[in-house]
Amino acid sequence: MPPKRKSSLGTEPSVGTKSPAHTPAKRPKANINWSKLEELRFKIEQLKQSDAIKSNTLRIKKSQSSKKSDYEYDDALVPAERYQPPPFHDTSVGEVYYRVTPSKYWLDARRYRQFKVGEDRISIGDYVLVRNTPRNAQFPGPEDDPKWIAKVVEIRAGGERHVYIRILWMYSPDEIHGGRRPYHARYELLASNHMDVIHGNTVEGRISVVHWNETAERNDVLGYDQFFYRQTYDFTAPAPKRLSQLPRHCIDKRECNPDEMLIQCDSCLGWLHASCLEQAAVKEAYSSNDLEPPVVENKDAATKRRGRPKRNGVKRASSTASSQAPVEQLFSAELTTSQENSLSLTVTDHREGHTGETWQTSPIICLLCAANVERASSELPGGDTIQVASVEQSDEEVSQEASATTNDEQGTKSPSAGSETSAD
């Protein structure tokens, strides 16, 4: 991923009535000078479970042997916050153990359920846009937007000008080891357990992010500009092993790219890549005209066994067109669907004297079970002849609490602030 960048703060926020999410446990009091936080930043150290338990045991022993008046908790492990339950449903990202420093400031800050950015109320569990400095050119995001996306897991405030958000970063595929894979969609994100504390001023507002569950029962489609995640990125694992695995589909056993068409066979319920059906139609066109398909030289044949994607997203292990040298084809094919979800596979003849001639391939044969991919609409109720990969977005619920706003500088992945924010 790109190096961390410093943030710059903008518009001052303000504070309203404090309304903690719960009554905090009793702990030693401390006179906190919050103005010092203009020079300090919260840092998070992610721990192994064994280290977290050991550190907490030492803290407890020290507190039992010390007088309350002499109690120091600057570097104490926060008992209530050392454990972060699995934050993403139906993913492989597990719990996280962590320590926040300087702890005395973090412990003194009151918890909130919400904070406010302009007129936008943001709750725990929401996804937010976080400002940063312009991205490095080698890490372009959708529309090259110089912002990051994160999930809010905790909100704390120590005063009117000190609102802090504990977040989990949502990675762009361009930022991970090995770069973007061929199956990553334009608006795809990776759910990670990379945790940070950022200042409320660095948050621009809420953004919609949904989880796309790859199951055979899906029948909706993702919106064109809908951010989503289906893969996880384990920040605590070795770099080559951080990315979770995805289901593989079709005869070529490749992952699906949600930006490309994926067809489900009515008979075997297997999923087929549109590109594989098109390639099969082209191969059949050569065969029916007693022609030999051109031999395609695989530029990456030497690295085929490794199967590791390049940084620029070209897959070395694939035997499909994405990793093949371009050759002149006498035929081409295109698979399309109508508004009624009926399939159409059109073959075009590019031979001399036949340029522009087209015909429909019917029936379309499943590459897995050799049955018709799509049966006649009269054979199935409601026209359930095909399903397209997608996700369903649930409605957001926003509860109303009090408010508090911010002004200081904080952020680790390089958020930079500007909008008015407040904690509720």
Question: Percent of the chain at pLDDT above 70?
Answer: 56
| 362 — pLDDT class (breaks 50, 70, 90) | confident
Domain count, the chain: 2
**b/e per residue 301-328 (b: at least 16 CB within 10 A):** eeeeeeeebbeebbbbebebeebeeeee
Same domain, 45 and 176: yes
β 227-233/209-211 pair status: parallel
| Domain annotation covers residue 415 | yes
Burial environment of residue 162 by CB neighbours within 10 A (0 to 12, 13 to 18, 19 or more): buried
| Domain annotation covers residue 11 | no
Same domain, 211 and 335: no
| 241 — pLDDT class (breaks 50, 70, 90) | confident
- What secondary structure letter does DSSP report for 283? H
| 420 — pLDDT class (breaks 50, 70, 90) | low
Give every CB contact of residue 143 below 8 A, 6+ residues apart in sequence: none
| Domain annotation covers residue 251 | no
| Domain annotation covers residue 373 | yes
Question: Which one-letter amino acid corresponds to residue 384?
Answer: D
Angle at 418 between CA 417 and CA 420, to 5 degrees: 110
Q: What is the mean pLDDT of residues 101-126?
A: 88
Same domain, 205 and 319: no
Instruction: Name the pTM for this structure.
Output: 0.64
Same domain, 141 and 290: no
φ, ψ (nearest 5 deg) of residue 319: -100, 15
Domain span holding position 331: 262-383
Same domain, 374 and 402: no
Same domain, 273 and 404: no
User: For the domain that residue 241 is a member of, what is the CATH number?
Assistant: 2.30.30.490
Q: Which residue has the higher pLDDT, 24 or 155?
A: 155
Same domain, 295 and 236: no
Element (H or E) spanning 105, and its range? Answer: helix 103-108
Q: Which residue has the higher pLDDT, 8 or 84?
A: 84
Same domain, 401 and 337: no
Confidence at residue 161, expressed as pLDDT on a 0 to 100 scale: 82
- Chain centroid to Cα 251, Å, comes to 27
| Domain annotation covers residue 114 | yes
pLDDT digits (tens, 9 = 90+) for 244-254: 888 888 888 88
pLDDT of 194 higher than 50: yes
pLDDT digits (tens, 9 = 90+) for 290-319: 888 887 654 443 333 333 333 333 333 333
Same domain, 239 and 355: no
Same domain, 52 and 159: yes
Contact status, residue 232 vs residue 192, Cβ threshold 8 Å: yes
Same domain, 304 and 208: no
CB-based contacts of 306-310 (< 8 A; 24+ apart in sequence): 308/178, 309/178, 309/179, 309/180, 309/181, 309/182, 310/178, 310/179
| Domain annotation covers residue 337 | yes
Of the candidates 354, 321, 332, the one whose C-alpha atom is nearest the C-alpha of residue 286 is 332
Greatest distance between any 2 Cα atoms in the chain? 96
Contact status, residue 422 vs residue 16, Cβ threshold 8 Å: yes
Contact status, residue 252 vs residue 320, Cβ threshold 8 Å: yes
pLDDT digits (tens, 9 = 90+) for 200-223: 889 999 999 998 877 645 555 677
The three-state secondary structure class of 231 is: strand
Same domain, 205 and 309: no
In this predicted structure, which of 53-57, 109-113, 270-274 has the lowest mean pLDDT? 53-57
